[in-house]
Chains A and B, each alone.
Chain A
Amino acid sequence: MGKGGESHEENMAAWLVGINTLRIQPFKLPPLGPHDVKVRMKAVGICGSDVHFLKTLRLADFIVKEPMVIGHECAGIIEEVGSEVKNLVPGDRVALEPGISCWRCNPCKEGRYNLCDEMKFFATPPVHGSLARQVVHPADLCFKLPDNLSLEEGAMCEPLSVAVHACRRADIGPETNVLIMGAGPIGLVTILAARAFGAPRIVIVDVDDHRLSVAKDLGADGVVKVSTNMQDIPEEIERISKAMGAAVHVSFDCAGFNKTMSTALTATRAGGRVCLVGLGHNEMTVPLTPAAAREVDIIGIFRYKNTWPLCIELLRSGKINVKPLITHRFGFSQEEVEEAFETSARGGNAIKVMFNL
């Protein structure tokens, strides 16, 4: 038996029922375990992966074979706590870390739980997501928000966590000049995270002027407009070099294309690192050998681990401000859900589309 108010309305969620087809339908919650909490969802952001599942019903090796609740970037209010839950009470405002690891496999036990063999992650099939009125989730994956942080900022902890994890793996600090490929939502949170980690110079590239101006407003020291043409790489590297005014120690490829990876590998100084954050095409054709011959290492990034406390602290102290990234807001109705996803898919001036439930 849990402690706290029980809601008697039927739980509803946004289900992915077919290609390009979302439907708000009942979503029956599992029973509340002793270490679980029931959360009333208040803020849910749309991620590029959610859009990808909507449009194609798949992502890498994950295939949507049955209807699945969408969404994973979320925050809400505790409604009920399981019998063993000590650190949370009903009424607490929390941000949710989506992935439930097994804690039995080797990666888990080594602390690299993001690589868990049995990971159960919101809206990665076959696990249901969190764009719903309520979800049940392990209490240890619900992080209490300080008073000065909104629930929307809580939901933003998820994309921000990817950038924080990348900055840790790439060892960002006061001596690492950073180059970011791609000014999409992930590239943009990477600017914020890199700065918070102390990066002295940050230059970001993109094909889109609007995205670059947003990047400038978020604090990038330099922005460079680039093309999708491989032939332009040498000239672009010259402009990047000029914009940075110093060596590139770490590059973050937040787009994941041959061109962005090739540029990053060539632009990064000997002994530096390139983080592949953007998961694009399966096979990539890149100048690996010259990079290896300069000991430029390639670091892989998959989601995050142990990042919520740091994200919350960086937001609480004001070291990072994610609010400008939330460009569009929608309510939780059939019509608005469809419109929200269309807006997110369109890109353009839409950075983070947020549901307020």
Chain B
Amino acid sequence: MAAWLVGLNTLKIQPFKLPPLGPHDVRVRMKAVGICGSDVHYLKTMRCADFVVKEPMVIGHECAGIIEEIGSEVKHLVPGDRVALEPGISCWRCDLCKEGRYNLCPEMKFFATPPVHGSLAHQVVHPADLCFKLPDNVSLEEGAMCEPLSVWVHTCRRANIGPETNVLVMGAGPIGLVTMMAARAFGAPRIVIVDDVPKEVEKVCKVMEARVDVSFDCAGFNKTMKTALSATRAGGKVCLVGMGHNEMTVPLTPAAAREVDVIGIFRYRNAWPLCFEFLRSGKIDLKPLITHRFGFSRKEVEEAFETSAGGGSAIKVMFNL
């Protein structure tokens, strides 16, 4: 059974027929699935950027579970292994894949990005190389949290976060909080989070007590980008992570004239192992971010999505199956 998005604002738990198990696949019994803002967006609007839900689709993509069955060629996993899943299946034939930038694969098949079914289900079939065995001291819920954390690991890498980069985070939603944890894990000495965009950029710098080397725009609005571009020091970087409006009106020229670069972020690549390392060592603790838990029934699925959509005190809403 799986949670299907069957129409606007309508989720239904229905049978979900699994594809046959290929030689390099595994079958996973889902145990923990988190709700992402994009899942909520699909529920409310049936679309996200250019992706449109045209037929019923299983929702959810932040997940972890237990291996039930392995394909004939699978060597590194056995039934009973606890694994976290990386959602996206790349083609490994195109230029981008072969350059290692597989997150940009034009043929990407990603859980719950239409028309590919998601993973809020009792079981899924998935390539074994995209299932990562959890360290003993990392729970399945933390495993599911690796997906959002991966976005931030990828961002910190692209932005070159380290012991000399002071970081400004625009947006203190769940994303902003995970960002802060990731930046700290990468060694950022000072991190300032801004939720309500301040009227003066100087205020931000005052709180920072130092230059802003890198800004993360986790909201993706004109206002947040404008502040990020203005607040970042000459030669610094602004990462646009939040997917907001298509067209944006921003002070690009003064930023370019100070060689403030704008770095785009799309999902992640090769991030799970590093996420595990951060969680295993305790450098990052995501458990406090899981604020609400629900079981896998029609009523609870609806309530869970309402809770997540409501925002407020809800940071990460997690299903326990």
Residues of A near any B CB (own CB < 8 A):
60, 106-107, 110, 112, 114-115, 169, 247, 256, 261, 270-271, 276, 279-302
Contact = CB atoms under 8 A, between A and B. Distances in A.
Interface stretch (B6-14, B252-260, B280-288): B252-260
Nearest to A262: B247
A300 B229 CA distance: 12
Interface size band for B = 35 or more
B252 A286 contact: yes
Contacts of B258: 115, 300, 302
Contacts of A295: 101, 103-104, 158, 263-266
Contact of A289 (B103, B106, B248, B255): B248
B246 to A, nearest CB: 5
B259 A288 contact: no
Interface in B247-277: 247-266
Contact of B261 (A107, A279, A293, A300): A300
A279 B253 contact: yes
Contacts of B103: 295
A283 to B, nearest CB: 5
B250 A299 contact: no
B96 interface: yes
B248 A288 contact: yes
A281 B251 CA distance: 8
B257 A60 contact: yes
8 contacts: A270-B104, A271-B101, A284-B250, A288-B240, A290-B49, A295-B158, A297-B264, A299-B259
A15 to B, nearest CB: 26
Nearest to A281: B253
B99 interface: yes
Q: Is the interface of A mostly helix, strand, loop or mixed?
A: mixed
B253 A294 contact: no
A281 B247 CA distance: 16
A288 B260 contact: no
Contact of A287 (B220, B234, B247, B259): B247
Contacts of A296: 264
Contact of A288 (B211, B253, B262): B262
A282 B220 CA distance: 19
Contact of A297 (B245, B251, B255, B261): B261
A291 B264 contact: yes
Nearest to B158: A295
B243 interface: yes
B96 A271 contact: yes
Given A285-B247, A293-B266, A302 B252 contact: no
B45 to A, nearest CB: 16
Contacts of A302: 256-259
A296 B104 CA distance: 10
A289 B220 contact: yes
B102 to A, nearest CB: 11
B295 interface: no
A112 B253 contact: no
A283 B249 contact: yes
Nearest to A295: B264
A110 B213 CA distance: 13
A292 B256 contact: no
B252 A276 contact: yes
Contacts of B96: 270-271
B144 to A, nearest CB: 23
A253 to B, nearest CB: 9
Q: Which of B96, B245, B258, B262 has the most CB of A within 10 A?
A: B262
Nearest to A117: B234
Nearest to A299: B261
B49 A292 contact: no
A286 B95 CA distance: 27
Contacts of B248: 285-289
B242 to A, nearest CB: 9
A285 B211 CA distance: 27
A63 to B, nearest CB: 15
A49 to B, nearest CB: 12
Contacts of B80: none
B260 A300 contact: yes
A287 B249 CA distance: 9
A276 B104 contact: no
B248 to A, nearest CB: 4
Contact of A285 (B249, B254, B263): B249
Given A60-B254, A107-B234, A107-B235, 5 more contacts: A112-B235, A271-B101, A271-B104, A282-B253, A295-B101
Contacts of B254: 60, 282
